[in-house]
Amino acid sequence: MGSSNWERVLSLVSLVLLVMLVSWHNTLSACASSFTEEADALLRWKASLQNQAHNSLLPSWSTTLLPDSARNSSPRAHLKETETSHCTWFGVVCNDAGSVIRINLTNSSLRGTLHEFSFSSFSNLAYIDTSTNELFGTIPTQISYLSKLIHLDLSINQFSGKIPSEIGLLTKLQVLSLNQNQLNGSIPREIGQLRSLTGLALYTNYIDGSIPKEIGNLSNLVYLCLSENQLSGSIPPEMGNLSNLVQLYMDTNNLTGPIPPTLGNLTKLTILFMFSNQLLGPIPIEIGKLKSLNMLSLKTNNLTGSIPALLGDLSRLTLLHLYDNKLSGTIPKEIGNLKSLVDLELSGNQLNGSVPASFGNLSNLKVLLLGENQLSGSIPREIGNLTKLVVLHIGFNQFTGYLPDNICQGRFLQKLSVDNNYLIGPIPKSLRNCTSLIKVWLQKNQLTGNISEAFGVYPYLQFIDLRYNNFYGEISKNWGMCPRLRALLIAGSNSIPGGISSSKSENSTQLLQGPFPVPQAYSTILSIPDHKLTGEIPSSICNVTSLEVLVLSNNNLSGTIPQCLGNFSNNLSVLDLRMNRFHGTIPATFVTGNQLRTLNLYGNNLEGPVPQSLVNCRNLEVLDLGNNEIKDTFPSWLESLPEFKVFVLRSNKFHGSITGSKAKHSFPKLQILDLSDNDFSGPFPTKYIQNFQAMMNRDGDKIKLQYLGLPYYQDSVMVNMKGLEIELVRILTIFATIDLSNNKFQGEIPNLIGKLSSLIVLNLSRNSLIGHIPSSLGNLANLESLDLSSNKLTGEIPLQLINLNFLSVLNLSQNHLMGPIPQGQQFATFENTSYMGNSGLYGCPLSRKCKGNGTPQPPPSILQEEEDLESASGFDWKVASMGYGCGMVFGLVMGFFMFLTRKPECFVRIIEGKRCRIEKRPKNRGHQRAGRRN
Ligand SMILES: *[C@@H]1O[C@H](CO)[C@@H](O)[C@H](O)[C@H]1NC(C)=O
Ligand SMILES: *[C@@H]1O[C@H](CO)[C@@H](O)[C@H](O)[C@H]1NC(C)=O
Ligand SMILES: *[C@@H]1O[C@H](CO)[C@@H](O)[C@H](O)[C@H]1NC(C)=O
Ligand SMILES: *[C@@H]1O[C@H](CO)[C@@H](O)[C@H](O)[C@H]1NC(C)=O
Ligand SMILES: *[C@@H]1O[C@H](CO)[C@@H](O)[C@H](O)[C@H]1NC(C)=O
Ligand SMILES: *[C@@H]1O[C@H](CO)[C@@H](O)[C@H](O)[C@H]1NC(C)=O
């Protein structure tokens, strides 16, 4: 404080001195020293700049005369030249008296600071533009010496530090542009002194703190942009005084609180952007007074309440974005008055009711996003009157009835999303005329029709998702006429029992049949799971070398798997042929450099060895060979695959012991190991388990929750949990399980198993394990299911197991355990069956002397039971699939819901380059569990 006061005094003193100098100069009319001072100051500053290699920087800024003018270089002439020439330097403009009034060095490759710039030397400077350079350092407080400054543009540099409060002394300033730097700190209150300001641009910095209410004093402001900072706090109501504002941008900050109704006073506003903040409360009806508004975006906030009907008065609106809020109620029919609207986005709210017929008046509309709401009724025919529509997104609602037959009247439609509704009936014939289509989402409805007749020839179509409808017929026929089709996703309606369109009449469900179509050359995705495709995979599929995802799971395909599938495409990342009738061997042709991430051959009749060439799949994350007839020993050479996460060999005829690990870090990322139901023998595979880094010490808070999979493919795997076979449709990257059950493993369970602290399921049952139960199992704090039954374990049940707060399944039966059963905590919830067949065990619940009903409830499991699912359908399962940053525990609950509900993958949809984000919260279950964890 003291020093800045001193600086102010100093600056005043120097101002006074300057004024004296200037007036002295004016009276004398020729004061060489003033001008040489300016020139010297400029040269000194130039000398301080860093990038002067080859003298290329500001070459005209020089006192040495240029060669052609060097002819008459008497000393006197030289001085004369110098005195006047700085006014001719690049970017420098002087007044008639020869004093600098304007410096414009925009985009001049300057690198350096302003600290060597002698502001006190420029008494007449009115315009500074050093935008688009590489200037850095703080903005010097001495800038306040420039008392005549009208225009200051330092934008698009790397200035850092705070905006100096001394800037408030520049009271003549009309334009202040500090945007696109790295400024931090808060906006100084002194900015309110800049009463002449008409334009203020502070966007894209790291400015934090709240918007000072003094900004309301800037009554001449026409343009104000504060976007893309870290401003917090609420919007000061004083901003309603900025009655000359034409454009106001406050988007992409962290502003909270309500939208002040006073903004309704800003009747000259044409643009009001407040999106991507955390604004709360309703949209004030006063916004309806902003009759000049052209664009209004409040998207991605926490706004509640209904959409004010008065917005229908904003007749000049071309853009209205309210999406991704918590708006509820019906869409006011008055929105249909906004005849200038081109872009209307209301998706991702909680709007209900039907779409007003008045929408048929919005004849200029090109983008209409109503998706992800609770809208119902039928899709109004009036939508068909919107003949300029390019993007129509009404997916994720509760629309019923037919798709209107005029839905593509305008023929400009490129993106059509009606998925996840309750639409019935056939695809309207008019869709055949919709030749502009590029991307189409129809999945998860109850649409019907013969797939070979329902669609037309779409020259631009790249992507179509037809999954979970009731289409039938042969698909091989007509898709050949869509030359740009890259992704065709089709699946049977019966594959989502809990899904939205769950067809009660599964028997009558018509499935696609016949041989599957060889996709277009250059296709990237072919996904036709859950149908009745028959026959063999023709090896001609190997000509489609662009394929990235090939999913033919759950069909009736047979024959052998073409060998070429191992090496036909360098791009192939998913090969999912599970649940078919393939026999023979696994392709052994995997070559180095391939991209394969998932190889899922579960549930076929494959024999023969695990091909050694799999070691070439350096990106392999998921290998599921379960439920085949494979006779082989443990493929230990897979241990070196760096990304390997899910390894399933269950229910085959693997044999031999699993002894040596050769690598120092074997299976470093493994999180699911299922070797159950084989003939493995020998000692417990301790050497491997001590290397399972991924199962150890995972600090949940630091992990980004993710699922294995790609946007259009989610890995899933059958695992045995709690005695049930469950399909994990989504595999959380933090889910960890080891299942060695039903083999012939011998020896003791090593104590170091307690290091695998992220294990959720541990099943070692039905082996020949001996020795004690390691007390270290008590460290497996995430364990939900522990099955050690049917072994030869001896000794007591370690008391430490009481620490397993999430344990809901415990099976220690059929061993030789003895001693007391630990009491309390979760142990109060287990039944006799957990301990049966151990003659030496005693205590509750085996003896009947158990205390009354003071037993705790088992904690809510991350594995929700089936009956919970209906109630769970109210919240949105897409959240986690988009990787939004919920807390870890919360996300875990969500994740497990998802795979149990078996709702298929959702994907991030890009509509017109914008991600339609929705973020909804579960009712309370997540918090419940989170609470118990703490
Ligand atoms: C600086 O010059 C550029 C063009 O070279 C111009 O666009 C800009 O408006 C000028 N800035 C000022 C403040 O005059
Ligand atoms: C936004 O504000 C909240 C508190 O209001 C704070 O916890 C959070 O870190 C802020 N986010 C950013 C990006 O500044
Ligand atoms: C500004 O808006 C407020 C509330 O909307 C109103 O009470 C006040 O009269 C308005 N002020 C002016 C100058 O229009
Ligand atoms: C806004 O909503 C999000 C998501 O519901 C929540 O995390 C956040 O805390 C809310 N912000 C405020 C300021 O209430
Ligand atoms: C749709 O447009 C036609 C003319 O193109 C018009 O006759 C009809 O009334 C419109 N329907 C509605 C509901 O606006
Ligand atoms: C498709 O377009 C043709 C020619 O423009 C037209 O005759 C036909 O009626 C249209 N079909 C449908 C179903 O709209």
Q: Is the CB of 241 under 6 A from ligand 3?
A: no
Atom nearest to 254 CA in ligand 2: 1
Tokens 């493993």 belong to residue = 745
> 32-48 and 2-28 helices cross at what angle (nearest 10)?
140
Question: Which two structure tokens, joined as six digits, stand for 26?
Answer: 């004016």
CA angle 168, 173, 177 (to 5 degrees): 90
Say if residues 671 and 696 touch (Cβ distance below 8 Å): no
User: Residue 902 has what pLDDT?
Assistant: 24
Burial class (CB in 10 A: 0-12, 13-18, 19+), 766: buried
Ranges of the chain with pLDDT below 70: 1-35, 52-55, 64-84, 473-523, 660-663, 697-734, 847-934
CA distance to 259, 264, 830, per residue, from 237 (Å): 8, 10, 60
Each residue's pLDDT tens digit, 842-900: 877 775 444 433 333 333 333 332 222 222 222 222 222 222 211 122 222 222 222 22
Each residue's pLDDT tens digit, 581-618: 999 999 988 988 888 988 999 999 999 799 999 999 99
- Which ligand lies nearest the alpha carbon of 432? 6
Q: Is the CB of 668 under 6 A from ligand 3?
A: no
Q: Is the CB of 265 under 6 A from ligand 3?
A: yes
Return the number of other C-beta atoms located less than 10 Å from residue 123's C-beta: 24
Atom nearest to 153 CA in ligand 1: 13
Task: Note the helical H segments in 344-458.
Answer: 451-454
Span from the CA of 870 to the centroid of ligand 3 (angstroms) = 49
Residue owning the nearest CA to atom 3 of ligand 1: 106
Say if residues 710 and 489 touch (Cβ distance below 8 Å): no
Say if residues 792 and 770 touch (Cβ distance below 8 Å): yes
User: What residue spans define the domains of the chain?
Assistant: 633-839, 877-915
Q: pTM, whole model, 2 decimals?
A: 0.63
Q: Is the CB of 360 under 6 A from ligand 5?
A: yes
Q: Is the CB of 278 under 6 A from ligand 4?
A: yes
- Residue 183's H or E segment, with its range, is strand 182-184
Q: Is the CB of 93 under 6 A from ligand 1?
A: no
d(CA 706, CA 881): 7
User: Residue 723 has what pLDDT?
Assistant: 56
Q: Is the CB of 276 under 6 A from ligand 3?
A: no
Span from the CA of 119 to the centroid of ligand 1 (angstroms) = 20
Q: Is the CB of 115 under 6 A from ligand 6?
A: no
Distance, CA of 210 to chain centre = 27
User: Residue 347 has what pLDDT?
Assistant: 94
Residue owning the nearest CA to atom 7 of ligand 2: 254
Residue owning the nearest CA to atom 8 of ligand 4: 278
Question: Which two structure tokens, joined as six digits, stand for 493?
Answer: 């309606």
Q: Is the CB of 232 under 6 A from ligand 4?
A: no
| Type of residue numbered 819 | G
Q: Is the CB of 234 under 6 A from ligand 4?
A: no
Those residues whose C-beta lies under 8 Å from the C-beta of residue 181, and which sit 6 or more positions away, are 154, 155, 156, 157, 158, 159, 160, 204, 205
| Type of residue numbered 213 | K
Span from the CA of 300 to the centroid of ligand 3 (angstroms) = 27
Question: Taking the chain, what is the end-to-end CA distance rounded to the nearest angstrom?
Answer: 45
- Which ligand lies nearest the alpha carbon of 879? 4
CA neighbor of 524 nearest in space, from 492, 476, 489 = 489
Span from the CA of 233 to the centroid of ligand 4 (angstroms) = 13
Strand partners, 439: 415, 463
Domain at 633-839: CATH architecture? Alpha-Beta Horseshoe (3.80)
Q: Which residues of 784-815 are buried (b: 16+ CB within 10 A; e: fewer)?
A: bbbbbbbbebeebbbebbbbbbbbbbbbbbbb
